[in-house]
Amino acid sequence: MMILKIGLVSISDRASTGIYEDKGIPTLNEWIDKALKDDFTVEKRLIADEQAIIEQTLIELVDDCHCHLILTTGGTGPAKRDVTPEATIAVADKIMPGFGEQMRQISLYFVPTAILSRQVAVIRHQSLIINLPGQPKAIREILEGIKDEQGKQIVAGIFASVPYCIQLLDGPYFDTHEHIVKSFRPKNAIQ
């Protein structure tokens, strides 16, 4: 049985040089540990916000490490140093615009500055690469979506579509814990 392999990439000039502690990878790792029902392995990278380094890291994680899913955090704003979307698109075979649209929709529920976000998702070979924001709270909101006080889903999180996307890319079949995020597949794709 194929095991899901996930790449976690935190993109931050200051964290990569030790000026402050990285919070992106620990947040992603903790969330994935809670959300996924099935076994997985993780490759972690903490890198500077340099387009060439980001591209090289994404290529390595897909082509050499054979990650099925890569989640990046940071470098998606409008500032001059924010080049994660450019690097991600540069290594892509296909762009998946629905992910970026949904990420902004979720964030707009909380802050009007979500329209400044430039997160994208792409396919490289048979891997899904998703750019997430840098703030731990925003990472969790985008992955899980928005729930009311009773825990009923108001807006679906992006991770609800990730297991089926990986399945369509001939990756491993995996599922999530519904109380964190309920994955969705058409009935004919459920195993």
How many angstroms from the chain centroid is the CA of residue 146?
17
> CA nearest 143: which of 34, 45, 13, 43?
34
Domain at 134, CATH number: 3.40.980.10
What's the rounded Cα separation, in Å, for the pair 81 and 41? 30
Q: Domains in the chain: how many in total? A: 1
| Contact yes or no for 177/189 (Cβ under 8 A) | no
Q: What's the pLDDT tens digit per position in 48-77?
A: 999 999 999 999 999 999 999 999 999 999
What's the rounded Cα separation, in Å, for the pair 149 and 126? 38
Which one-letter amino acid corresponds to residue 55?
E
Q: What's the pLDDT tens digit per position in 138-160?
A: 999 999 999 888 888 899 999 99
Find the domain containing 53 and state its range.
4-189
pLDDT reported for residue 183: 94
Please give the model's pTM, rounded to 2 decimal places.
Answer: 0.96
